[in-house]
Amino acid sequence: MPEMLASYIAGAWYTAPDEGTVVNDAATGEPVARVSSTGLDTQALVDHARSVGGPALRGMTFQARGAALKALATYLDANKVAYHELSLATGATRRDGAGDIDGGIGTLFAYSSRAKRELPDGYVLVDGDVESLGKEGTFAGRHVYTSLPGVVLQINAFNFPVWGMLEKLAPTVLAGVPTIVKPAGQTAYLTALVVRDIIASGALPEGALQLVCGGVGDLLDRLGGEDMIAFTGSASTAATLRGDDAVTARAARFNAETDSLNCSILGPDAVAGTQEFDLFVKEVGREITTKAGQRCTCIRRALVPEPAVDDVLSGLRGRLDRVVVGNPRSESVTMGSLVSLRQRDEVRDAVNALARAADVVYGDPMSVAPVDADPQRGAFMAPVVLLCDDVDRAEPHEVEAFGPVTTIIPYSEARDVGQIAARGGGSLVGSIVSYDPDFVRDVVLDAAPYHGRLLVLDRDCAGESTGHGSAIPQMVHGGPGRAGGGEELGGMRAVRHYMQRTGLQGSPAVIAALTGDS
């Protein structure tokens, strides 16, 4: 039997006594680790965070917390070879692993740099100016942010075992709030390896980070208004968590980032032969093959002007024919596997559901010949493109195949495209690929309230564009409705999500003394 993953609780490593669940290599099917949290002392977890980790973090200034993040990032960067090796077991290629591992470490660096420039060497953030609240000038008000006195519980998705933890940890540390991280079982071994190094680094004070491998047991029963639950994963799990008494009755803060039916929109101007046409085909192709389409930001709906559909499909065929699916340990492979056989089966089911409303025009969801791997033991799947000609069908806007799958949806009127995008019910990200400023403006204004991020991709920015699917530290990541209704990242905006805003009122002298301004 493979090794049982240990949890890190109240300053010690805890290994469950039972057999737990075996997690297999996504590409080979070989056992990698076992996962169980049987016997987990959730009270000790929460007490330790509140009484040790929280006070230690809150005792550091923002500048000291930022310096700690930098030290942590430097340490992890020096140890990352091991993460990259282990990442291959998740089915990710080395390139995919870079997005997760180097992307995660880079997020720590980015937050430490911004903290140095943007945060004070103190404990309280001011928000807005002093408000004069009386004609004589003797009564004033100002808003401040202070650290939440509780704990942040991260419940993460399988697809970013490193970045998913670090992108939440960076702003949480800056906010002065301790974290309990609960990785998804399928890839918890990689998170656990990184947590082991974080603890070994000594960069964060004891209690700032704890780890639960396996289920969280009754942990939610111990959370309330001082605490926050930061979730990434499926919409159905988000609904369950959000319905827990911790949130509904005790008003624990809740943030959800759920995968959504993100779209990319090709402008009517961007006909075959234009640079934007080529950018669109490249972007869609890259999105559905990166991490085998297992990104919550992946392009699930390609909205294409009717006259351009054949050209787009032809372009995609050309790109996707060159994709080599297989064991990510093989040099020639450009697309790895899904995370598990179960996940592959779910994606196949979703493709079948989509196929009720659309035609599979590229790829075979049921068949693949992976390089250097057994298609029965590894969770492989070939890229699949569907075409939905019936604008009235709901499936392309509601059924998510969380794999290398996208649906082309033709549109006839440019003025309708914003509303077609909105039929996704809220998305993390959308992109508009066009060089027509009027089209871009109309679509952005229509689509913005349904999106957390919108990329306008054209010849001018393509060289430096970070791409449709990449969540970057500077921009908010999250979206309304189907995307969970939450928000992460966005520079120092994320730090404030883990703090309480309070309006202080008093004499101008008192307000100045409390907020550090004269």
Please name the residues in contact with 470: beta carbons below 8 A apart, sequence gap of 6 or more: 99, 103, 297
Q: Which of 21, 63, 74, 146 binds a copy of itself (CB under 8 A)?
A: 146
Residue whose structure tokens are 């009270």: 43
Q: Are 369 and 401 in contact (CB under 8 A)?
A: no
Helical pair 94-118 and 163-175, crossing angle rounded to 10 deg: 10
Q: Which of 322, 342, 415, 501 binds a copy of itself (CB under 8 A)?
A: 501
Q: Which of 121, 131, 218, 345 binds a copy of itself (CB under 8 A)?
A: 131
Q: Are 404 and 288 in contact (CB under 8 A)?
A: yes
Nearest distance, CB of residue 475 and a copy of itself, angstroms: 4
The verdict on 43 binding a copy of itself (CB under 8 A) reads no
Residues 197-226 that bind a copy of itself (CB under 8 A): 224-226
Nearest distance, CB of residue 97 and a copy of itself, angstroms: 23
**E strand residue ranges, 272-348:** 299-305
Q: Which of 233, 285, 452, 469 binds a copy of itself (CB under 8 A)?
A: 452
Give the binding range for a copy of itself (CB under 8 A) out of 186-194, 248-256, 390-398, 407-415.
Answer: 248-256
Q: Which of 19, 306, 474, 517 binds a copy of itself (CB under 8 A)?
A: 474
The verdict on 44 binding a copy of itself (CB under 8 A) reads no
Taking CB under 8 A as the rule, which mask of x and - marks residues 224-243 in contact with a copy of itself?
xxx--------x--xxx-xx
367 vs 507 by CB, closer to a copy of itself: 507
Give the binding range for a copy of itself (CB under 8 A) out of 19-27, 97-105, 287-295, 500-508.
Answer: 500-508
232's tokens:
């990434």
Q: Which of 64, 79, 123, 355 binds a copy of itself (CB under 8 A)?
A: 123
* Residue from 410, 433, 424 nearest 452 by CA: 424
Q: Which of 4, 199, 456, 494 binds a copy of itself (CB under 8 A)?
A: 456
**How many residues make contact with a copy of itself (CB under 8 A)?**
88
The verdict on 56 binding a copy of itself (CB under 8 A) reads no
Element containing residue 233 per DSSP (H, E): strand 228-233
Element containing residue 172 per DSSP (H, E): helix 163-175
Catalytic residue list contains 257: yes
318 vs 449 by CB, closer to a copy of itself: 449
The verdict on 475 binding a copy of itself (CB under 8 A) reads yes
* Residue from 74, 114, 71, 226 nearest 490 by CA: 114
- In whole angstroms, give the CA distance from residue 272 to residue 250: 56
Nearest distance, CB of residue 305 and a copy of itself, angstroms: 20
Nearest distance, CB of residue 505 and a copy of itself, angstroms: 5
β-pairing, 359-362 with 209-211?
unpaired
134 vs 307 by CB, closer to a copy of itself: 134
Q: Are 157 and 297 in contact (CB under 8 A)?
A: no
For 137: left if phi > 0, alpha if psi spans -120 to 50, otherwise beta; the answer is left
Q: Which of 141, 215, 217, 375 binds a copy of itself (CB under 8 A)?
A: 141
The verdict on 512 binding a copy of itself (CB under 8 A) reads no
β-pairing, 228-233 with 299-305?
unpaired
Nearest distance, CB of residue 511 and a copy of itself, angstroms: 8
- In whole angstroms, give the CA distance from residue 370 to residue 326: 4
Residues 164-203 that bind a copy of itself (CB under 8 A): none
Please name the residues in contact with 14: beta carbons below 8 A apart, sequence gap of 6 or more: 6, 7, 8, 39, 40, 41
Q: Are 408 and 386 in contact (CB under 8 A)?
A: yes
Is residue 296 helix, strand or coil? coil
Taking CB under 8 A as the rule, which mask of x and - marks residues 404-443 in contact with a copy of itself?
------------------x--xx----------x--xx--
- In whole angstroms, give the CA distance from residue 191 to residue 153: 15
For 321, counting Cβ atoms within 10 Å of its Cβ (0-12 exposed, 13-18 middle, 19+ buried), the class is exposed
Is residue 193 helix, strand or coil? helix
Catalytic residue list contains 213: no
Q: Which of 24, 42, 93, 147 binds a copy of itself (CB under 8 A)?
A: 147
Catalytic position from the list 257, 276, 287, 488:
257
Catalytic position from the list 296, 298, 400, 488:
296
The verdict on 155 binding a copy of itself (CB under 8 A) reads no
Query: Which amino acids are annotated catalytic?
Result: 257, 296
